[in-house]
Amino acid sequence: MRRRDFMTVLAGAIAYPHLASAQQKAAMPVIGVLDGGDPGRLLSEMGRRLRDLGYIDGQNIRIEVRSAVGKPELLRGLAEELVRQKVDVIVARLTPPVWAAKEATQTIPIVMAPAGAPLETGLIASLSHPGGNITGLSVTSAETSGKRLELMREMLPTLKRIAMLANATDPISKSLVAETERVAQILGVQIDPIPVKSGEEIEGAFAALGKDRVDAVIMQSSLPEKAIAALALKHRFPLVSTTRSAVEAGALMSYAGRLADAYREAAVYVDKILKGAKPADLPVQQPTKFELVINLKTAKALGLNVPATLLARADEVIE
């Protein structure tokens, strides 16, 4: 099946889940996908790897997609809907969807694709033996905070004050903010944490930032990337994220583990689980490759000159 055909099937499942369900064979294994925002990249990368493993949506598996489209309060209900659909495994991207899935079921296997700090937040018992019904991929947003701030200082040599948009509904927010503040103190940079929940709060935060003499903004990846990137450009703030997709949406820069790798590896976990493996026995993987992505178009729009040394180290430059 061509990628275009595959994505068409997925789009139909998102828009008309009950119709898609009725058209497929009940005996097919069902993969539930739970996402808080845009699942497009996850579906594309995971779908490609699933095909490599011999799975084709609509032929020998069925994929049910549920997205909260930036409204975290919907996640629990969407997770419960997947449970009622009796899916065989749930693939959840980022920590809030994983937690919603965990609260909805203690029996259906859950694959983190990925989740931040799953050990510290209590999602799993250990990396080597996660226990329970959850396994998958972990991200290290907090651990890479130091490198991210160093890169920001190189991009913005006069950097003194950074606003940090933290997802108030995400369990890893506290550890992420704490680690960022710890490193910022060493570098002599001030961090102003701003917990937000809704789009209205995010807009209000940006409206207030102009009066606070903030030099740049860091955003947590589980927040609405496109909306925040647009607001950052509108208010002319350099925006740094932990995901490449935010840079594609207009953020200035990101540094983090390669999420595309995690999305593809999630398919491997699904394959093992469908073949009988138990999540409790599948070790959780951490990222081994990290990438620096810079949006040169955004830099020009903000009137910033990106140092040649930084451009040379970038894994990708968006022009």
CATH architecture, domain defined by 3-140+258-289: 3-Layer(aba) Sandwich (3.40)
Measured over the CA atoms of residue 12, residue 17, residue 20 and residue 26, the dihedral's sign is positive
| CB distance 247 to 241 below 8 Å | yes
- So what's the pLDDT on residue 140? 67
The CA distance from 209 to 162, in Å, is: 10
Rounded to two decimals, what is the model's pTM? Answer: 0.83
The CA distance from 91 to 263, in Å, is: 10
The CA distance from 9 to 12, in Å, is: 5
- So what's the pLDDT on residue 216? 96
Phi, psi at residue 203, to the nearest 5°?
-65, -40
The CA distance from 35 to 33, in Å, is: 7
Q: What is the pLDDT along the chain (319 residues), one digit of tens a residue?
A: 444 444 444 444 444 444 444 444 457 999 999 999 899 999 999 999 999 999 999 999 999 999 999 888 999 999 999 999 999 999 999 999 999 999 999 999 999 999 988 988 899 999 999 999 999 999 866 668 888 999 999 999 999 999 999 999 888 888 889 889 998 999 899 999 999 987 789 999 998 887 778 999 999 988 989 999 999 999 999 999 988 889 999 999 999 888 899 999 999 999 999 999 999 999 999 988 899 999 999 999 999 999 999 999 999 999 9
Q: What residue spans define the domains of the chain?
A: 3-140+258-289, 145-257+291-318
CATH architecture, domain defined by 145-257+291-318: 3-Layer(aba) Sandwich (3.40)
Location of structure tokens 């606003």? 163
Same topology between domain 3-140+258-289 and domain 145-257+291-318: yes
Cβ count near 310 (within 10 Å): 15
